[in-house]
Amino acid sequence: MAGFVGIDIGRTHVRAASITVGYKRLVLERLEEVALDSVESLERAIQLVCAPLITHTDGVAVAIDGDQCFIQRITLPATAQKRLEEVLPFEIEAQIPVDIDELVYDHRSLRREKSSDPLVVMTAAARIDAVRARIELVRSALSRQPDRVGCGPLSLSNLASVVSSLRGPGPFALIDLGAERTEVTVLVRGEAVFVRTLSQGVSGLPGSAASLASEMRQTFLAASVTVGQDLQAAFLVGGGAAATGAAEYLAYEVSVPIQPLPSFEMEGATEERAPSLPRFAKAIALALGVSGRSRDLDLRRGPLEFQRGFGFLKEKLPVLSGLGAAIAISFVFSNWAQMRALDREHELLTTQLAAVSKEVLGEEVTDADAASEALARAQASDEADPMPTVDAFDVIVELSKVIPMNMIHDIEEFDMQRGKVKVSGIVGSTADAQSIAVEMGKHPCVKDPKIAKVTQVVGSDRQKYVLELDVRCGDDSAKKKADKPGEDAGKEQRP
């Protein structure tokens, strides 16, 4: 099973979650957390939370803060679908006060009811320097780069792959209560359709409660206007989710039900872990994104696109070696099986060749080349003279001789193939046809003449007959038999 790690880097804590993915299996393995005030640096905190998780990991994901992202919801005509990659950079640059060359961006088209509906695209962009700084932070701490860099609150949309209720029609809101900021993600059918990062967190409570509630109320109102529906429910996640009275207070202020986060549909999300899962929600969401279940956006694009180096191959060398050995063994076994089958087939064909050669040539031959040579010699010795003694014209001449001058005789068809003659003719009576057959049989080269069929001609009293006979002259066979002793004698006289 493949292992993946998500790292949530906050202002007060660093949290990490590891998951493993297999065939129809998704397992939540470990959850680690370190407070930043307990270590000397942010790099050290990342090392401590990831040390137990990173050993056999196939992918690592982090995210930059929401206040460093430019997240836009862009509406385009349906006809722009085919040229989206060309049009999108201009649309992003028109809405962001930063040169497009200084940004990396990613996008995701939202689901449409009909293909003719306008195209709505969620885009996320960030400065290249900000994304590179987050990549270098992880690299300096773990000696490896992150495979994926998420964008603020959009990463929370990955939770829809393990929480079925978030894939409903909604809309639903995920509220990540941090120490100094709050990130809101609104989902419709499991897709992030609206996000916002608020400047208020839980560190200023209770004094900042009214300000936080006001910003939350404005955010929910803006989301309702954008989506076209009122929010059905909201779920608290993040470090401030467990704050006493936070859910009740916010539900009262924003007039939206605040519900506990539903259970995760994955192994390892046990009841003992349930209280801590909202706190690790973003880390789990990042791990889900790098595992191939992403519903968010990835900022490792363009000049920052991830390229695996030799270190990755070195890490995977044992697995690749095992796979190579298995392939080699399979190849050898397959060749051995094919060779054994061919040997058995060769033995069977050799036995059949010996039997056939004994029957045809009079001697057993087990070699194919020797059998071909023996067969060629036999065919050469038995080859008949291609020039026949009696040909078709001779047969016609003989037929004209046996027909009396006073007999009216018509020939409709005459055919001679390999000594087989077939004559279709018309005579006055059946007796006339029989007399022709008898007279033809008197010729020394005509064998077995017979009247095959006699029928009356339609509209006449004349008879139509079919005469069949064989043409074989004894001179050729006698000459052939006479030549063989001479040839044998010549062979015996040779030294």
Q: Is the pLDDT of residue 243 over 80?
A: no
Q: Is the pLDDT of residue 394 over 50?
A: yes
Listed residue (55, 71, 12, 18) closest to 286, CA to CA: 18
Q: Which amino acid is at 360?
A: V
CA distance 241 to 179: 11
SS3 string of 267-291?
ECCCCCCHHHCCCCHHHHHHHHHHH
42 to 32, 49, 64, 408: CA distances (angstroms): 15, 11, 14, 125
- 418: Cα within 13 Å, side-chain hemisphere: 1
- 407: Cα within 13 Å, side-chain hemisphere: 23
What's the CATH number of domain 392-475, 3.20.20.70, 3.40.1350.10, 3.30.1360.100, 3.10.200.10?
A: 3.30.1360.100
Q: Is the pLDDT of residue 486 over 70?
A: no
Under the banding of pLDDT at 50, 70 and 90, the label for residue 381 is low
**Which residues does residue 20 pair with via DSSP β-bridges, in sequence order?**
3, 27
SS3 call for 317: helix
Per-residue pLDDT of 427-465, as tens digits, reads 888 888 898 888 888 888 888 889 888 888 888 888 999
CA distance 421 to 305: 87
What sign has the CA pseudo-torsion 127, 130, 133, 138? negative
Q: Return the pLDDT at 337.
A: 92
Edge to edge, what strands does the sheet with 463-471 contain? Answer: 410-417, 420-427, 463-471, 446-456
Under the banding of pLDDT at 50, 70 and 90, the label for residue 495 is very low
Domain boundaries, the chain: 1-69+125-159+264-312, 321-381, 392-475
Per-residue pLDDT of 404-435, as tens digits, reads 888 888 888 989 888 888 999 998 888 888 98
Query: What is the fold of 1-69+125-159+264-312?
Result: Nucleotidyltransferase; domain 5 (3.30.420)
Mean pLDDT of the chain: 83
Tokens of 218: 């404005």
Residue with tokens 């191959």: 313
* CB-based contact 151:211 (threshold 8 Å): no
Q: Return the pLDDT at 113.
A: 82
DSSP state of 244: T
Neighbouring C-beta atoms of residue 457, cutoff 10 Å:
12
* CB-based contact 414:392 (threshold 8 Å): yes
Per-residue pLDDT of 193-229, as tens digits, reads 898 888 887 777 777 788 888 888 898 899 889 888 8
| b/e map 162-188, b = 16+ CB within 10 Å | bbebbbbebbbbbbbbbbebbbbbbbb
Q: Return the pLDDT at 77.
A: 87
Per-residue pLDDT of 329-343, as tens digits, reads 999 999 999 999 998
Strands 103-109 and 191-198, sheet pairing: unpaired
Q: CATH topology of 1-69+125-159+264-312 equal to that of 392-475? A: no
Q: Return the pLDDT at 385.
A: 56
Q: Is the pLDDT of residue 493 over 60?
A: no
